[in-house]
A and B are shown apart, each in its own frame.
Chain A
Amino acid sequence: MKSLIVEGVSKRYWVPKAQKSQPTESRLDRVRNVFSVPLVRELLGAQEVWALKDISFEVDHGTVFGVIGGNGAGKTTLLKVIAKVIPPTTGRILGRGRVVSLLELGAGFDDEATARENIFMNAAINGIPRAVALERFDEIIDFAEVQEFVDTPLQYFSSGMYLRLAFSVAINMQPSILLADEILAVGDLSFQERCLQRVRELARDTGLTVLFVSHDMEAVSRICDRVIWVKDGTLHRAGEPEDVVTQYQNATWELLTSAEKPEEKGSSHAGRYGEILDVKLLSADGREIGSPPRSEDIFVRIRFRTYRAKTLARCAFDLFSKGVLVFRSAQPELVPVGADLAYEAVARIPANLLSETTYTISVGITLIRGEGEEHALVVNKALAFMVYRENSDESSGTLHRTGLIDPTLEWSMEMKPYAIRA
């Protein structure tokens, strides 16, 4: 049974052309701009932007449906159209049951009102009578764990409490379809886990259908039954979570590496004292590689040249994943370098440390000359790569969850003759 059918939905916006405010603008121009009538400018200068282009898909009853894609791809617009918040330009959407949206942290909440008032307001927004909301009240408060703060205005809530309340309210509004936009990425892990579990339970027991938008590919592949990838407002791929997520990650990785030239990054790779020539990833036998296996050592090679004599240099790099700094590593001491020479610094990342995911590396070189004359060369996102695992059987079942790193630790277990209490 279908719970939601999206048929050829498009959404057009009229966006006013950006007013360029140039530094050379004369005072007269500025005055003229102030007095130019906005209405006319809007009518003449607006250009159309298609946020969604002919999107069609169907969602089965009682499933968790993932929506992935880059920033600005149209995921949120799609959800807002389904939530009826913005009307589609063409196409139509058929659905059944109550749609509850969890579009943003605290959307539909009034900061100055108390938790109690907000619960009733949300109930009213979802067309639920006060009496029914009253019955659910304790359950909402309990799940959100805000028992002591029922009559506190939300502005004094921590973001965690806020999130818990928002989620708890949403799932207690007897939704048939829940629209969750990136909401679960905010909470702490244990709460995330609790939410995902609850979502799964509801999907199974009450036939709740969930549209789950997230950048957390790990969560998407773990909880979704089906995934679509939205790209530039169109439906790019649809299918099994594993397939779509892998394709998406590969594409993201290619995009990152294709823009590898440091010049394009706008960072100061060249300075008065030197210049970063290139940053490469090498395998143990010295080959340049794009995608290293997890079980082998990985080498980060930084090549740079120097312009001045009597300079001290120290290379460092930051390793990022999912927007988080995983670690920073720097040469332990400053190394003297000479004028107009080329150097090569190599750092080894041990095998079985990184996890099976995408990483980016930003490189920095500090050059010090004389007393306190310090200069930094930086290349942001000099490298992007994805670590892979050779035999995927190793990562079987639910035990496997990719973290930012995945070190192989030493484990032991043996039988001990402790008395077992009866």
Chain B
Amino acid sequence: MPSAPDAALAAAPAPDMWVIEPRQYGVLERARELWHYRYLWWYFAAQSVTSMYRRTKLGWLWLFLRVSAPVGINSLIFGGLLGVNSSGPPYFLFFVCGSATWILFERSLLVVTRSLERNRKLVTKVYFPRLILPLSSVAPGLLYLAIMLLVMILTVFYHRRQSGVWYITLRPELLVSVVAVFFALIFTVAVGLWTSVLQARYRDIRQGLRYFMPFWMYFTPIIYPVTTIPEQWRWILALNPMSSVVEAFKWGTLGVGHLTVRGITTSLAMTALTLITGAWFFNREEASSIDKL
């Protein structure tokens, strides 16, 4: 019996034939799909950015305001009041460089986590590869990163005028910073694959993440240089891939980061582990989570 209908369809074999089955789709199938729906990427990316300041009077100025507060306050308190040692460059620049990739990670992760939930009206009614949602939701984070870079460049020029020192120069090490940004993105997506699916079922995830993020930030060498941590405890920091990312970015730009082979390999392994399990989890649970949205 099952062969008969196949024959009916196969009578005129067409490229536009499709099959829906309970089984999971393979990696290749998924990739093909992502390409097929490529026009959607831009839409969701733009939507996740504009939704940050939709219906506000100040509009996109909010993007700047939202970055300026944490950067301003933190550098004032830790650099100004507490006098944390930056191991070289001015503290403000040190802090901006440290938090650039962190802000990319933090802001993106929150948007990525909510990506399925926020689009549930769409997701429960029409089909498109759901993977597009977490992937394109890194757009706001990238925008914040761009703002941070702008602030960073302005600060460099300011110090050049004031003291005649170029703290950041165009040198090959800058490529390391680019790689660091790239890794921050991958790690964001890796964590987001877990959180976005879980958030569809348990809205606790977002709450928990908001609670957890400040701790994670202090667990990352942003406000302090790694060298302030005793040697024997630094391996704990390496378990947090973001600390390697932040250090690598600082090393590439300011040349003050503290990079060890062991630290980097640990972080890479952690990232790979999160990404692979995340992709597996997302592929497995995405559909059944949608049932519960």
Contact = CB atoms under 8 A, between A and B. Distances in A.
Interface string B19-31: 1111000000000
Contacts of A1: 8, 11-12
A121 B43 contact: yes
B124 to A, nearest CB: 6
Contacts of B54: 112
Interface in B11-44: 11-12, 14, 16-22, 36-37, 39-40, 42-43
Nearest to B54: A112
B9 interface: yes
Given A1-B11, A123-B39, A129-B39, A87 B20 contact: yes
Contacts of A83: 126-127
A118 to B, nearest CB: 10
Interface in A1-19: 1-2, 5, 7, 13
Contact of B8 (A5, A38, A176): A5
Contacts of A121: 40, 43
A86 interface: yes
Interface in A90-137: 90-99, 101, 103-104, 107-108, 110, 112-113, 120-121, 123-125, 127-130
Interface in B101-128: 121-128
B20 A81 contact: yes
A96 B5 contact: no
Interface residues of A, number: 45
Interface in A354-397: none
Given A94-B5, A96-B14, A123-B39, A82 B22 contact: no
A292 interface: no
Given A85-B290, A125-B40, A125-B128, A2 B19 contact: no
Contacts of B124: 85
Most central of B2, B121, B125, B288 by chain A CB within 10 Å: B125
Contact of A93 (B19, B40, B42): B19
Interface in A188-206: none
Nearest to B36: A127
B155 interface: no
Interface string A174-193: 00100000000000000000
Contact of B21 (A92, A96, A97): A92
Contact of B9 (A81, A85, A94): A94
Contacts of A120: 43
B6 to A, nearest CB: 7
Nearest to A8: B2
A74 interface: no
B126 A101 contact: yes
B280 interface: no
A107 B121 contact: yes
A96 B22 contact: no
A5 B10 CA distance: 12
B277 interface: no
Nearest to B41: A124
B40 A124 contact: yes
A104 B125 contact: yes
A101 B42 CA distance: 22
Give the contact-size bracket for chain B: 35 or more
B19 A84 contact: no
Contacts of A2: 5, 8-9
B125 A96 contact: no
B17 A96 contact: yes
A121 B125 CA distance: 14
A221 to B, nearest CB: 27
A124 B39 contact: yes
A218 to B, nearest CB: 27
A262 interface: no
Contact of B16 (A7, A81, A98, A130): A98
B126 A85 contact: yes
Contacts of A103: 125-126
Contacts of A129: 39
Given A83-B126, A92-B21, A107-B126, A97 B43 contact: no
A89 interface: yes
Given A1-B12, A127-B36, A128-B39, A92 B19 contact: yes
B287 interface: yes
Given A90-B22, A107-B126, 6 more contacts: A92-B22, A94-B9, A104-B125, A120-B43, A125-B40, A130-B39
19 contacts: A1-B12, A2-B5, A2-B8, A7-B5, A87-B288, A96-B9, A96-B16, A97-B14, A97-B16, A103-B125, A107-B121, A108-B125, A110-B47, A121-B43, A124-B40, A124-B42, A125-B122, A125-B126, A127-B39
Interface of B: 2, 5-6, 8-9, 11-12, 14, 16-22, 36-37, 39-40, 42-43, 47, 54, 121-128, 202, 287-288, 290-291
Interface of A: 1-2, 5, 7, 13, 38-39, 58, 81-99, 101, 103-104, 107-108, 110, 112-113, 120-121, 123-125, 127-130, 176
Q: Which 6 residue pairs of A and B lie closest in terms of their CB atoms, listed nearest first? A: A107-B125, A124-B39, A84-B127, A93-B20, A108-B126, A124-B40
